Amino acid sequence: MVTIVTGDYAKRKTALQKTVEELTAIVGQKGNRFAAELLAESAERLRQETITLVVLGEFKRGKSTLINALLGDRVLPSAVVPLTAIPTVIHHGPEPAARVYYLDGRDEPIGLSAIPDFVTEKGNPANVKKVREVVVTHPSPYLAQGVILVDTPGVGSVYEHNTQAAYGYLPRADAGIFLVSVDAPLGKTELAYLHDIREYVGKMIFVLNKADLVREADLGEAIAFVTQILREHLKTPGITVLPVSAKQALEGKLTGNESLYRQSRMGELEALLRTVAEKEKAALILSAVASRAQRIINELALELELWRRGMDESLESLQEKLDAFTKELAVLEQEREDSIYLLYREVEKLGDRVGEEIEAFKKQMQPALAARLEAYINKIWPGRSVRQIAEETQEFTKRIILEVLQVKQDELRTAVRKDFESVAQRFFARIEAVVDRMMTVSAAIFNVPVHKTDYKEYILGDRFFYFHFWDNPTFIPAFEELTVVSMLPKSLIRKKVTGNARHKLEELLDRNCGRVRADIVTGLTERVREVAGQLRLRADAVAFGLKSAIERALTDRQAGEEERKQALAQCRAELERLAELRATVEEVLRTTLFEEEKP
């Protein structure tokens, strides 16, 4: 019997979970590893039900304060100067806790009071501690709904690396809060950032913060102005801007002052966010999982239909059709391999572009860094020994190279990830087209119906990179360590020290530019191998299932009458059950898509 799934989300979710569980058992028995992994991933997505809500905007807009207001607790540091330098990710947990994750893969627990030492510009200037992100857990009821909050560095500040870090987090966002404030008009940087955000974030909520700073009449004008600018820039008439005072909301929650909380207008924003968490998140997850299940059901049903039709054929006719299908399959498998070859070539081009861009960056930055280095040497020269100057200069050299390379690395990582995902999605679509033709060809040869589903994009992962600043052993002493240095004229000493420092800078810059390029190219190589394996597995699983069904019919066709009757009865029962599962999934899709279309 078909499970009734109309009505509330919980019923649809339960029905879909049971369908996925049953399908997982079926494909496991058939040895279809690709389908089993896809269903396991889908089941986990249904179980976790998380949505990543990223708070975005320029610096000094009050992003950290807004997150604290949502949590009802002073978890994140906030100040009047550009503060957040590292993304902070906040999950639900039984008690407040924090852990810092470094670019080299290390992680360690920290106290909540130590968070500013890692995420602020003051505590971690230019990210000298090489922090990737800080993850916080908090028992907030809002987070318990499956929401993951992310505080990003503000764009447009004097700290360019903060802007790059903010851009770098965009691909991980499911929805976003874009924050502007009444004390600063929308600027070009803000609008440019907003334009980029639209490529990654499907659901955007616009908030006008610091509403308590202006009179009611002036607030109305500010809302109208911001709304008009956003609608013109985004060319979307249906944009709404919600005014709030995150500061008042936080104080109201901390002190239990209901009046102050109402004045903050935070209630309307929180109601909207609950809608996103409860309904829109649910629709997104349900439709994605149901679409995956639908495709797998259709493939399983076609295998059974091929077997059943084969049982009606003569052995001679069945063998001819198997040969015809095998011939067509060879053509499609070659097309699959051609696609994978082209995928490797596309990714090689990405690697070449990275190399070219790194080389151009190195040539551009070397004179500027050398000038900064020479000015630094001139500044610290008086009152220091040659050895002290050498040691301080070496540290300064590493610091300025890391400073510029960090920005370039983030920029390249974001661009490469975006390009690679685009390439991979394109080739997954090609393989899905090959799979569809496998099904169509086999159905045409045996004259059986075939159900098709729309292609759904696959979500790819991420890779983090790190820098290398260790010197290789050498038996040639540095100039500053030679005893003869004290016998040289002072003017020559400074010239030699400066020249040696410039040479060291060139060497370190070249080495670490090469390391950035190598890490990115290595990451691409590893990822393309993984993707190519998934492409082969996807096509092979379907081809194996279809061909096995036909070959099994050849064997079963020769069985005794009673055995054939039992096998046919079992096939009919399995087809009927798959039809019921398909009806359940299609109903989930229909009702979920209908909800998405509601105004």
Name the token pair of 49.
């039900």
Q: Are 89 and 135 in contact (CB under 8 A)?
A: yes
Name the token pair of 440.
């169509």
Q: Is 494 exposed, middle or buried (0-12, 13-18, 19+ CB in 10 A)?
A: middle
User: What is the pLDDT at residue 576?
Assistant: 94
Give the end-to-end CA distance of the chain in Å, rounded to a whole number: 33
**Domain edges within the chain:** 52-264, 314-556
Q: Which of 496, 498, 467 is nearest to 370 (CA)?
A: 498
Pairing relation of β-strands 131-138 and 97-102? antiparallel
CATH of domain 52-264: 3.40.50.300
User: What is the pLDDT at residue 279?
Assistant: 64
Pairing relation of β-strands 107-110 and 88-92? unpaired
User: What is the pLDDT at residue 2?
Assistant: 34
Name the token pair of 484.
């003869």
Pairing relation of β-strands 147-151 and 88-92? antiparallel
Distance CA 262, CA 416 (A): 45
- pTM confidence score: 0.56
Other beta carbons within 10 Å of 16: 26
User: What is the pLDDT at residue 574?
Assistant: 93
3-state secondary structure of 447: coil
Name the token pair of 5.
């799934």
User: What is the pLDDT at residue 125?
Assistant: 79
User: What is the pLDDT at residue 164?
Assistant: 42
Q: What is the 3-state secondary structure (H, E, C) of 287-338?
A: HHHHHHHHHHHHHHHHHHHHHHHHHHCCHHHHHHHHHHHHHHHHHHHHHHHH
Query: Which residue shows structure tokens 């299932």?
Result: 545
* 429 secondary structure, DSSP code: H
Q: pLDDT tens digits, residue range 365-402?
A: 999 999 999 999 888 888 787 778 888 888 888 888 88
User: What is the pLDDT at residue 453?
Assistant: 61
User: What is the pLDDT at residue 281?
Assistant: 67
CA 43 to chain centre: 19
Q: Are 485 and 479 in contact (CB under 8 A)?
A: yes
Distance CA 43, CA 46 (A): 5
Distance CA 26, CA 415 (A): 41
- The ranges of the chain with pLDDT < 50 are 1-6, 80-84, 155-168, 455-485, 594-599
